[in-house]
Amino acid sequence: MNRRRFNKWLGSVACASPLTIHGQPMPGKLVRIGWLSNGPYAGTAMGVAFSSGMQERGWTEGGNYVVEPLYSEGRAERFPELVDVLLRRKVDLIIAEGTLSAAAARQATTTTPIVFFYVGDPIGSGLVASLARPGANLTGTGGLGTWTAVKLLELLKEVVSHASQVAVFVNSSIPLHLVFRADLEPAAQALGVSLRPIEVRSPDDLDGAFTTMAASKVDALLILGQGMIVSERVRVAKLSLEHRLPAIVPFKESVESGILMSYGPRLSDEMQRLPNFIDRILRGVKPADLPVEQPTRFYLTINQKTAAAIGLKFPRSVMVRADEVIG
């Protein structure tokens, strides 16, 4: 076969392939997608971004796919039960928010494809063998790296320059949090800050955590990423304001709710990337063959209204670097 004939043949195969990302999905079956997260996605920026990305690839909610969402309401111990419900409903694919939901799904099934998002350390958490070749039935987005926690601490100290004691919300059931703590200690020493780790796993822990911080007279709060914080962001922001406590989180959505500042990828960006995984898997590609995608952009978001309410002023060095200023 000469080069011209070969190229023509190759092009015809590519056009006919069911794996074409932006082609029309194969007709017939209504695809059922299980959605496993801490709180609702419908009506949020995440939900809009996800639906838009699916539609770009020829998938219309209610037309050729439906989403069956189940929420833990911030209680990670419910994830195994919720996964079991989705599997009994015979969903074709599961979307899992965060490390703990993805881990529960992985333990429950080795056959149903799982696409996770906002997982800090997919390898260290035992979800995938490697980012390039995930293996098994999981893939998705994640892999923030431990440097992000150090960056959060540095930004917090830059804004709250007088801070000498910083509380850190940790969840020891998330492997990356243990690694974060190991890396944070030397960074804190270099900044002249002592850290006060406080275990926070569920909404039930929040009131006690803020009471502990008030008694300890901490100067600021660093919140490591976990799904429960996103679903409870309004409550966390309210408690932070009541205690006049400057706090930093990885999630922009928490700053919109009243937290002082955030630094990290946007969840809406993650949502725009998920449909590519889902589309390819539903067309026959194995999750094991789809590399995990790491965040490509990090955003600094600050809340001027919150700063004024707790008696702080953002230094110019932070203002000029902010991607978004709220209030």
Q: What percent of the chain clears pLDDT 70, i.e. is strictly above it?
A: 91
Q: For residues 196 and 169, give the distance between their C-alpha atoms in angstroms, rounded to a whole number.
A: 9
Summarize pLDDT for 259-273 with one digit per residue, the tens: 999 999 888 888 889
pLDDT at 2: 43
Q: For residues 203 and 220, give the distance between their C-alpha atoms in angstroms, rounded to a whole number.
A: 20
Mention every residue, 6+ apart, whose C-beta is less than 8 A from residue 138. 102, 105, 106, 113, 114, 115, 116, 127, 128, 287
Using pLDDT thresholds of 50, 70 and 90, give the confidence band for residue 167. very high
- Interval 50-65 mean pLDDT: 95
CB atoms within 10 A of CB 316: 8
pLDDT at 27: 55
Tokens 């209680």 belong to residue: 75
Q: For residues 186 and 149, give the distance between their C-alpha atoms in angstroms, rounded to a whole number.
A: 12
Using pLDDT thresholds of 50, 70 and 90, give the confidence band for residue 4. very low
pLDDT at 19: 36
Summarize pLDDT for 78-115 with one digit per residue, the tens: 999 999 999 999 999 999 999 999 999 999 999 999 99
pLDDT at 70: 96
pLDDT at 14: 37
- Interval 141-157 mean pLDDT: 88
Sorted by where each starts, the structural domains of the chain and their CATH numbers stand as: 3-143+267-289 (3.40.50.2300), 147-264+299-326 (3.40.50.2300)
Is-contact 167 221, C-beta < 8 A? yes
Mention every residue, 6+ apart, whose C-beta is less than 8 A from residue 215. none
Using pLDDT thresholds of 50, 70 and 90, give the confidence band for residue 28. low
Tokens 């074709």 belong to residue: 92
For residue 278, the SS3 value is: helix
Is-contact 165 217, C-beta < 8 A? yes
Model confidence at 118: pLDDT above 60: yes
Nearest to 146 by CA among 177, 102, 188, 101: 177
